[in-house]
């Protein structure tokens, strides 16, 4: 079956712009999590959604937001981009709410100039 699909894979933005990233989970998976990965901070948790409800949110400013649709697809949005937002954004899906195996997409590489 198809894996987790993230789009776009690469994007370049300038400071002050906003960006929307998309994630399509594995069919049947209802939980989607987002992580930001940078060389300095490693993998940092952004959000977790289950059945369209945000279950958890990481320690990120309000410029970072997300949502999940009824078909479990998820989007995250970053407004007023800063240079420090340059990172690999990873989406992961799982079937349920327990913290079992996560299936990751290939990520969206965001560069902010």
What phi, psi does 56 have (nearest 5°)? -145, 155
Q: How far is CA 82 from CA 17, 31, 50, 87, 106, in A?
A: 9, 28, 29, 11, 23
Specify which residues 32 forms β-bridges with. Answer: 49, 93
For residue 16, the minimal CB distance to other proteins (Å) is 26
Residue of the chain from 35, 49, 50, 64 that contacts other proteins (CB under 8 A): 35
Residue of the chain from 56, 71, 80, 111 that contacts other proteins (CB under 8 A): 56
Position 99 contacts other proteins (CB under 8 A)? yes
Q: Which residues form the interface with other proteins (CB under 8 A)?
A: 4, 33, 35, 42-43, 45, 48, 55-56, 58, 88, 90, 92, 99-107, 109
């Amino acid at each position: 079956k198809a894996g987790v699909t993230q789009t776009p894979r690469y994007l370049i933005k300038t400071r002050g712009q906003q960006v929307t990233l998309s994630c399509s989970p594995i069919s049947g998976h209802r939980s989607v999590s987002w992580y930001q990965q940078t060389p300095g901070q490693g993998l940092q948790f952004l959000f977790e959604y289950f059945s369209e409800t945000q279950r958890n949110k990481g320690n990120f400013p309000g410029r970072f937001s997300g949502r999940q649709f009824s078909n479990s697809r998820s989007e995250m949005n970053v407004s007023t981009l800063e240079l420090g937002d340059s990172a690999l954004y990873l989406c992961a899906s799982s079937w349920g709410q327990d913290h079992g195996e996560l299936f990751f997409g290939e990520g969206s590489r965001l560069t902010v100039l």
